[in-house]
Structure 1
Amino acid sequence: MKKIILAFGAAAMFSVATAYAQAPAPRADSVRDPIKQGDPAPDNVPTQATYTKDMVRINSKDIPASLRKTLSEDTYKGWETANLYKDKSGNGYMLEFQDPLKTRLYRFDKNGKLVKEKTSRDVD
């Protein structure tokens, strides 16, 4: 009888030990790039995207006063380190913030007013 109880206890301890030895699956919100089997291929934007095709990169000292006033708002905090582009025709400007996970774009007309239809774009 002792052998049966001992065998049952050993089996129970073995099953508990193997259950706790399993590595837990990471939570979905903690995975940097959660791609599951069966998902379509991720859509990556090439590094030389076409949204800067007709634009020239400019320095912060070349920005007109009207645009500089708009960029002083909290929404564009840190614009000094972002990429600034001017349309070759002189009709607009673009501000590009590059973060590790997404790129934010803001377009402005020649008077420094935000162009609403193309305010930002997420790039994964």
Structure 2
Amino acid sequence: MPLRPEQSSDDVFGKLDPLFDQSGTSHRQTDDTLTFRKKDQVAQDKMSVFDGGILQIRKDAVGAVLHYQLTSKALLFCFLAPLLFLGVAKLTIAIGNVEKPPVETTDTANKAGKKIGSCRSIL
């Protein structure tokens, strides 16, 4: 995220400070880096989805840029949950194929039909 040239790292992190002044959140700022960790965050916290992260202000060719690396177990679960459901579906299909009775051929079905029909004519 590009920043205005007149903004210092203290100004940028000062504007973001309300996001990190929540219960269960610890943060530390050193020079151009802000590191935070969250533990037992409340649902009303605007950044409750994230468990921790690093925000850095770096100088690029375009000027100062805010780089961030955030970690979230909840978002990771959202990406991995479909794989769980796909695995359950594949397992269900495999079990269904194993438990399915074998398919009869037409010759076997005709022989079975003749035997049943001949028994009826006797009765």
Larger Rg, first or second structure (1 or 2): 2
Between Structure 1 and Structure 2, the one with more helix by share is 2
Is the TM value for this pair above 0.5?
Answer: no
Q: If the length of structure 1 is used for normalisation, what is the TM-score?
A: 0.28
The structure that is strand-richer by fraction is 2
Could you state the TM-score of these two structures normalised by the residue count of structure 2?
0.28
